[in-house]
Chain A
Amino acid sequence: MAGLATVFGSGAMTNSIPEIENNDLLFVIGSNTTETHPIIGLRMKKAYRRGAQIIVADPRKIDLVRFSAIWLQHRPGTDVALLNAIMHVLLKEKLIDKQFIADRTEGFDAFKKSIEDITPEKAEKITGVPAKDIVKAALLYGKAKRPAIYYTMGITQHSHGTQNVFSVANLALMTGNLGKESTGVNPLRGQNNVQGATDMGCIPNQYPGYQRVDVPAIRQKFAEAWSTELSPKPGLTATEMVLAAHEGSLKALYIMGENPMISDPDMQHTKKALQSLDFLVVQDIFMTETARLADVVLPSSCFAEKEGTFTNTERRLQKVRRAVTPPGLAREDSSIIMDIAGRLGSEMRYNCMEEVLQEIGGLWPAVAGVTYGRLEEAGLQWPCPTPDHPGTPYLFKGGFPRGKAAFTPVSFEPSKELPDADYPFILTTGRQLFQYHTGSMTRRVPELNEVAPEAYIEIHPDDARELGADDGEMLRVSSRRGSIKLKARISDRPARGLVFIPFHYHEAAANMLTNAELDPVCKIPELKVCAVRVEKETGR
């Protein structure tokens, strides 16, 4: 999100889910939407049925390819080269919006220079996508009236993820495809309330509402509201905390509802880091791999056992309602936090969760108009500054929060770890339809496990033949960081030389293999590209 925030001054989906069906072109890059966001996938299919064309750019032949007008199978990690070449074509074909560029953006000339010699032919060498397909995709996007770009972790989980996002933003800016209904840039958030957690300031450099901790006036506002002194120093990101724990500067960690053991790259490293902490508290609904390492484990409540709100990927706040009571002594996370705060001598007392929302609204005007009463029927999309504001389906209608949006010249940089003789395959990781994230919930649903019981590695039939591996045969997959064994799933979804492993399974954790290399700006790890070796598992 840092990438988009840099460009526009705000980072979120620019449009709403219902608007998808009125797109006349969907450019889906780095998002296996039908599996990771099935219901958004349905809207995309609906758009397709209504005549929209779909460009899919993905190293794998994902399900959405069936509905696509064109599929660009670029090599993992070459998104920038692909996007630059597309923009090169748009420039050449004069399919840019000069008025929009002049009125609402800055830095176009420098950007223009940066792509002048990125021809589709050059990009073909890097991406593996035929130049004519790049041209075709560019023309489709350039000529569309209501095009929108959709991306997920396929764009961001790279050592150059921020650069990828800049590139996507450049594409929308140069064509003026922003600030309009059914037209924009849409990062699809992977988890139910990842948007909300970010909105609420669970990020080390920003208070709720993307207000920076290192700006004195802002800090002052929060300090007054919370009646305390606040640190001006931006904190550590999750991955940096793990590093800090490993080197000993971080002594205690309080984890609420997270399972970094499975979700973070380089699992061995994560484990060592957590073990070297002086004190680890994990508050969760299950004994996760992370909770096993904790000094104290606190039983908390799941979504069906509490009141509150979630904010979905399109900035829509919706009600969460208590349907059942928590098991045993388990308590709601909010009451646990308030209780610990009290024991540390700070009163955090609220009679109900709506009081918390009211307090948030006082500090972040974008949700000031949201009340539980208004959420009874349907959700509200922020910004919703006043009690009579209807919410905002799409952003930047009148302008960008930072004034003019900035073009950022981006040049292609290869991923940090590329295949070589020892590790000849590129591994990319992701989700599959029947499991979710680290599996702590879905793996406890017997039906889901019956259809998706175990980890597998997707491998191209030709590669499998060279290995002499049959479908379902056990393979050993190793990287410089670790090794796991899992079943082969021979499939034409990945290209030759590419393998895919879903990361939900702790017993064959993809993140034993992945690279913890971080994007320098937003500290996202390079989970989408690392080099691995695949061998037949023999003897065992």
Chain B
Amino acid sequence: MLHLTINGLRVTVPEGTTILDAARSADIPIPTLCHHPKLTPYGGCRLCIVEVKGINRPVTSCTTPVAADMEVATTTPAIERMRKTILELILSDHPNDCMVCEKAGDCTLQELAYFYGVSDNRFEGERRCYTGKDHNPFIGRDMEKCILCGKCVRVCEEVQGVGAIDIAYRGFNAKICPPFEKDLSCEFCGQCVSVCPTGALTGKAWTQRGRQKDVREIDTTCPYCGCGCSLTLHVRRNEIVRVSSRDDTINEGWLCPKGRFGYTFVHSRDRLKTPLIKEKGVHREASWDEALDLIASRLSKIGKKHGPDAIGGLSSARCTNEENYLFQKFMRAVIGTNNVDHCARL
């Protein structure tokens, strides 16, 4: 364990901890845009600079490991001025169209601009202008809003192991894109979307479906494969408008394309909305009472005539534990047969 002081406060952390993590462990805030706790430190946005006694230039706290007896100052007039300069620079090349941006209210850049009060910008000049749109169905890429924090590149490489995007070109023209600036053609896991601090990467399905303030968030569990990822459903007016995931569960906040983008079946027009009874080969709408009475009487008759083992029940891996329990209990205790199974083998 190493001892250091941050803003005069004594902090003890394990060796190898970065200044940023040490500060955050002591609840001392340091602004960042390119940092993500699960990705390799990058040191690109430069907002996390701090002063370290004995070092003659500011250091990035996200990349600098603590040393014994280090004296760190996270906020000084000089540091705050430089942070503001950096934000001014970023905003001097950003559309600043927050009023129509999908990310407004949930945007790290917007929040920092607010806290640093960047209202009149000393810098102006050329802005990147990208007219090309990416035609993939999932991920909206508005690269004019990209601040090149590189989180998407890192998550794609380090977490997803795909490497579908990287930085191309140099200087002011640097941009993040798939090879040869083609449309994205990847696994569409959307990990990049989940880490993007601005509105550069968004889910196309979310567009104009509601801002954060209108949305209720409900944590639940994914209905697809057996991984059991936790999902947060964003609901507005009884409609799921977006899916995200908390990062403190077994899936660590990562999702696959089905989990992240495959929720719209819930509101499909094909959903069954009423009981149906088949008559002369054709299904007709029926009331619940009518349908359930019919089922009860037919099952009862068949059970009486052929014995309970002439009735079988197939339960579902899509249903909850409670429903499955009730179903097998129904088959065993009510119908009287052990003919109950589900699709475990398929």
Contact = CB atoms under 8 A, between A and B. Distances in A.
Direct contact of A and B (CB under 8 A): yes
Interface of A: 1, 16-18, 34, 36-40, 42, 45-46, 48-49, 66-67, 156-157, 188-205, 207-208, 213, 222, 226, 228-231, 233-239, 241, 244-245, 249-258, 260, 263-264, 278-279, 281, 284-287, 291, 294-300, 302-314, 316-325, 327-334, 336-341, 343-344, 346, 348, 353, 356-357, 359-360, 378-379, 433-434, 436, 440-442, 444-448, 450-451, 522-525, 527
Contacts of B9: none
B332 to A, nearest CB: 6
B185 to A, nearest CB: 9
B89 interface: no
A37 B346 contact: no
Contacts of B327: 202, 256, 333, 337
B235 A448 contact: no
Given A157-B345, A444-B265, 5 more contacts: A191-B343, A257-B318, A319-B219, A323-B235, A442-B262
B221 A192 contact: yes
B338 A235 contact: yes
Interface string B260-286: 011111111011111111100001001
Contacts of A524: 345
B334 interface: yes
Interface in B244-260: 248-252, 254-259
B123 interface: no
B272 A302 contact: no
Interface stretch (B63-71, B93-101, B309-317): B309-317
B261 A445 contact: yes
B192 to A, nearest CB: 14
A235 B257 contact: no
Contact of B262 (A1, A235, A297, A445): A445
Nearest to B279: A295
Contacts of B316: 193, 197, 256-258
Interface string B137-163: 110000000000000000000111100
B226 A195 contact: yes
Contact of B332 (A17, A230, A334, A359): A230
Interface string B189-220: 10000000000000011000000000010111
Contact of A348 (B189, B317, B330): B330
B266 A302 contact: yes
Nearest to B345: A524
A234 B339 CA distance: 7
B223 interface: yes
A32 to B, nearest CB: 12
B238 A444 contact: no
B315 A226 contact: no
A193 B341 contact: no
A446 B137 contact: yes
Contacts of A263: 343, 346
Contacts of A233: 309, 338
